[in-house]
Amino acid sequence: MAAHRQRVWSSMRSTRSIYLTYLCLGLVALPAWEVTSRSSNNIRLLLSSPLRILEFIQGNYLDLLNATWVTLVEALLGLLLATAGSFTLIILGFFVTGLLRFLLPAMIASQVIPLIVLAPFFVVAFGIGLSSKVAMAAVLCFFPIFVGLAQGYRLIPQNIHDLLDVYHAPKALRVLRAYLPLSLPSGMAGLKVSATLSVIGAIVAEFTGSEVGLGRNLFLSTIRLQPELMMASLVGSAILGAVMYTGVHLLERRVGFWYLPTRVE
């Protein structure tokens, strides 16, 4: 017990010291950034400065929040659509013999194509509104989740299949009690990758054509040479990525209680 407490304490202490180091680095880097940007116009035009960015955010927070919100909705809808789609397809694959074996090579091959190139196509096909961004995010997110689930299914040990055979388990129970749960660990790994991909998909589709959003802000900031807008949008995208990832992480803490390492708390 004492040894356990010792271990918990030392792990907490080391985590804390890592965060402390990050904080110190930030406290050094930010003033250095401020000072250099004041001394050089080139750097100011390229990177702006922390205080200017802060000022810009203060002056335009409603617009910035709105843009972030729009991009969040696009990314989230795309991720949800992809999750629903990949789970539906994998369940279909469990039921239809041979379907997975037919689909998987195509799925894996598609991973080689940088699907983000479809962004202009979607904007042309679905217009500059919400749907083209959702479509881009969904397509980008679909494959990691589906391939993760399929990989998890393939890794189910033969003994489990034998167990299901011995008791003559009906297909629906096989899927519900074994295939789906046992595919979940690698499916969740795919979902985590997709959580950040969804933001990328939405932003890149916004580059191509949109009326509002972080991607549009980023695009405008380059043609208008507005480094403050660019930096503020960067902060927004970082927060978005973190929110999406944290959301999936929290979801996994709920559904993955049986495979996640037990946390030392």
Partner 1 sequence: MDGDSAVGKPSLADAATRNENRRVAVGAVIRSFAFGARPVIRNLHLSVEEGESVALLGPSGCGKSTLIKLLAGLLPRNAREALDGEVVLFNVPPSAYRATGKLAAMFQDPTLLPHLSVEENIGIPLEFLGRGVSEEVSALLRLVGLEEFRHYLPRDLSGGMRTRTALARGFVSRPDLLFMDEPFTGLDLGWKESLYGSLQELRNRYGTTVVMVTHDLEEAVYNSNRILVLAADGTLMDEVRIPGTFPREYRFGETVVRHTAILGRLAELLGSPPATGLV
Tell me: does residue 19 bind partner 1 (CB under 8 A). no
User: Least distance in Å: CB of 99 to partner 1?
Assistant: 18
Nearer to partner 1 by C-beta: 98 or 114? 98
Q: Please identify, using beta-carbon distances, which residue of 61 and 259 lies nearer to partner 1.
A: 259
Residue 160 touching partner 1 (CB under 8 A): yes
| Structural Rg of the chain based on CA atoms | 23
Would you count residue 157 as binding partner 1 (CB under 8 A)?
Answer: yes
For residues 200 and 194, what is the distance between their CA atoms, to the nearest angstrom? 10
Smallest gap from Cβ 175 to partner 1, in A, equals: 12
Q: Which of 235, 218, 236 is nearest to 227 (CA)?
A: 218
- How deeply is 107 buried, as exposed, middle or buried, from its count of CB atoms within 10 A (0-12, 13-18, 19+)? middle
The gap from C-alpha 256 to its chain's centroid, in whole angstroms, comes to 18
Q: Are 175 and 118 in contact (CB under 8 A)?
A: no
When asked if residue 170 is in the footprint of partner 1 (CB under 8 A), the reply is yes
Nearest to 67 by CA among 241, 222, 261, 215: 215
Site string for partner 1, 175-204 (x = CB under 8 A): --xx--xx-x--------------------
Where along the sequence are the contacts to partner 1 (CB under 8 A)? 157, 159-160, 162-170, 173, 177-178, 181-182, 184, 258-259
